[in-house]
């Protein structure tokens, strides 16, 4: 699910998403994203990528249900919409208001 804000409303996207409870996550190849655990275990977790466009900041949100099944694979069971993801998107939007 994409959450889009005008760039003028989000001065520093990284600080903003950290204020929402997310921590930085780096993949083995150095790609940066942000995750927030649903409870004490590593999965399920909310996962966000930040995309900076000319006039907008886009937070691409999904819910990782579990880790990849096959060793060496990056595929996971993720939800990109639904009630849980929508509630988290609304929670994030409320940090701007």
pLDDT tens profile 14-50: 999 999 999 999 988 889 999 999 988 889 999 999 9
The 3-state DSSP class for residue 95 equals coil
Q: Taking a C-beta distance cutoff of 8 angstroms, is the pair 63, 47 a contact?
A: yes
Residue range 45-70, pLDDT digits in tens:
999 999 999 899 999 999 998 876 65
Alpha-carbon distance 49 to 57, whole Å? 11
Q: Give the residue from 92, 26, 24, 82 showing the smallest Cα distance to 58.
A: 92
**Those residues with Cβ within 8 angstroms of residue 50's Cβ, 6 or more apart along the chain or in another chain:** 13, 14, 17, 33, 34, 57, 58, 59, 60
pTM of this prediction?
0.85
Q: What single-letter DSSP state applies at residue 18?
A: H
Residue with tokens 């995750």: 35
For 61, 72, 83, the CA distances from 87, given in Å and listed in that order, are 11, 32, 6
Q: Number of folded domains in the chain? A: 1
Q: What is the pLDDT of residue 23?
A: 97
The boundaries of the domain holding residue 55 are: 2-93
């Amino acid at each position: 699910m994409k959450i889009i804000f005008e760039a003028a409303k989000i001065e520093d996207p990284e600080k903003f998403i950290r204020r929402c409870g997310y921590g930085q996550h780096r993949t083995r190849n150095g790609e940066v994203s942000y995750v927030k655990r649903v409870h004490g275990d590593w999965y399920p977790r909310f996962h966000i990528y930040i995309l900076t466009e000319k006039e907008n900041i886009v937070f691409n949100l999904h819910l990782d249900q579990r880790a990849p099944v096959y060793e060496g694979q990056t595929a996971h069971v993720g939800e990109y919409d639904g009630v849980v993801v929508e509630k988290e998107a609304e929670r994030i939007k409320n940090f701007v208001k």
